[in-house]
Amino acid sequence: MERWNGKVAVITGASAGIGLATAKALVNHGLIVVGLARRKSKMEEEMSKVKGPGKFFAKECDITREQDIAGAFAWIKDNLGTVNILINNSGVLREKTMEEASMEELQFVINVNLVGLISCTKHAIKLMKANDQEGHIININSIAGQQVPKIEGKSYNVYSATKFAVRSISETLTHELLGNKIRVCNISPGVVKTEIFQEAGVDPFFLNLVPALEPEDIAQSILHVISAPIRVQITELTIKPLGEIF
């Protein structure tokens, strides 16, 4: 991790869960981290407790608003110069059937999980290429991007479709960035204890019945991916809790 000391990492959805755990881990390893999320004050409060050698900047950003994303990356360019690592972590789901969910709800899931990710990636690649330095793009996906979850009595409508698309985008980027110093990794966790389920209205009782990972488990996996030698590209990583049934 020493070569990343003082480098700039951008994390979407950094106010909680995997994003927050990863921000803490990277600051503790000496990186300059820019957290993008709607809850700026929560990021600042949580990260104020971290005493690592790195730095953290909280930027309020609604990942569904292109003007917010463009503004955040403009600030990064003007104040930090570049992006070395992008971690596309923002994600949402809704526990409704396709029929039950409104078009607004379905569009929201698509905008957060897919459109926002694409926009952040485009902005980051532009800065990475301009500085001709080693770069890394990590897309936090899901095992739902490998197969559609078939849980009796439950449906997550377009969630799995967006995750399949993210997997395809990761493969496309790997191909498009051949010849550059930018690596791409698609990380697909199983169930992780984060706010995504609470916000989706998933019954907490159900979550207590299934094995689950902690956000810190994924953060440690991210450290493993980015610390690999530049000659090594980990393109796909699936992480499941022991005993997962999905």
- What residues act catalytically? 159
Angle between helices 17-28 and 215-227 (to 10 degrees): 50
Give the span between the Cα atoms of 123 and 86, in whole angstroms: 10
Best CA proximity match to 142, nearest among 154, 121, 159: 159
* Three-class SS state of 231: coil
Give the span between the Cα atoms of 20 and 26, in whole angstroms: 10
- Number of neighbouring beta carbons within 10 Å of residue 139: 22
The DSSP code for 192 is: B
- Number of neighbouring beta carbons within 10 Å of residue 244: 15
Give the span between the Cα atoms of 108 and 4, in whole angstroms: 34
Give the span between the Cα atoms of 137 and 156, in whole angstroms: 26
Give the span between the Cα atoms of 159 and 109, in whole angstroms: 7
Best CA proximity match to 40, nearest among 71, 8, 80, 13: 13
**What values do phi and psi take at 98, rounded to 5?**
-60, -35
